[in-house]
C-alpha cells in the first residue's frame, strides 16, 4: 500500500510539474508573439523613417556623397549623381577615384576644389562631416 501511495504521489508531482511547464511554455509563446509583433512594428517605423530621410536627402539641391571608412560610396543624392554624372546603383561600393574624382585632397571644411565632369571643369566648395562620430571630423 505504501508503494501505491508513493506512486500516486509521484504521478501527482509529475502532473503538477507538467502543468506548470505547460503554463510557462504558453507564457513564453505569448512573449515571443508579442516581441515578434513589436519587432515588426519597429521595423515598419524604421522603414518609414529611412524613407522620409531619403526623401529629404534626395530633395537637397547641394550634392551630398556619403563614403565609408574605406572611401567607398555608400550613398549620394540626385544632385551628386547629376554633378558627377555617376549612377548611384552602379557606384555604390566603388571609390570616387574609379570615376576620375580624387576627393582624397580634401582635408578641411569649406575647401574649394576643382573637378572635371562632363568635359567641363567646375569649382566646388566642399565640407566634410564624420557621421560615425556625430558630425565631428578627425
Q: Look up the CATH number of the domain holding residue 105.
A: 3.30.450.20
DSSP letter for 87, please: -
Instruction: Tell me the average confidence (pLDDT) per consecutive run of 10 residues in the chain, 138 residues long.
Output: 90 94 97 98 97 94 88 90 88 89 77 83 81 52
Q: Please tell me the predicted confidence (pLDDT) of residue 133.
A: 54
Q: Which of 40, 59, 78 is the last residue of a domain?
A: 59
Same domain membership, residue 67 and residue 49: no
Q: Which of 44, 59, 74 is the last residue of a domain?
A: 59
86 vs 83, 95, 100, CA distance in Å? Answer: 8, 12, 11
Q: Please tell me the predicted confidence (pLDDT) of residue 136.
A: 47
Residue ranges making up the domain that contains 21: 1-59
pTM, full prediction: 0.63
Q: Please tell me the predicted confidence (pLDDT) of residue 103.
A: 79
Q: Please tell me the predicted confidence (pLDDT) of residue 132.
A: 63
Domains: count for the chain = 2
Q: Please tell me the predicted confidence (pLDDT) of residue 41.
A: 98
Cα(6)–Cα(20) distance, rounded to whole angstroms?
Answer: 21
Q: At a CB cut-off of 8 Å and minimum separation 6, what does 126 contact?
A: 103, 106, 110, 111, 112, 113
Classify residue 138: in a domain, yes or no: no
Same domain membership, residue 74 and residue 42: no
Same domain membership, residue 3 and residue 31: yes
Amino acid at each position: 500500500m505504501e508503494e501505491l501511495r508513493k506512486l500516486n504521489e509521484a504521478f501527482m508531482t509529475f502532473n503538477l510539474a507538467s502543468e506548470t511547464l505547460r503554463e510557462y511554455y504558453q507564457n513564453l509563446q505569448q512573449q515571443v508573439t508579442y516581441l515578434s509583433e513589436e519587432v515588426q512594428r519597429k521595423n515598419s517605423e524604421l522603414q518609414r523613417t529611412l524613407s522620409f530621410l531619403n526623401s529629404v536627402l534626395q530633395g537637397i539641391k547641394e550634392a551630398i556623397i556619403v563614403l565609408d571608412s574605406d572611401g567607398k560610396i555608400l550613398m549620394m543624392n540626385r544632385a551628386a549623381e547629376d554633378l558627377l554624372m555617376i549612377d548611384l546603383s552602379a557606384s555604390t561600393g566603388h571609390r570616387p577615384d574609379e570615376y576620375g574624382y580624387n576627393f582624397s585632397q580634401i582635408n578641411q571644411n569649406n575647401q574649394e576644389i576643382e573637378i572635371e565632369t562632363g568635359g567641363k571643369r567646375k569649382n566646388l566648395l566642399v565640407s566634410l562631416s564624420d557621421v560615425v562620430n556625430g558630425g565631428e571630423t578627425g
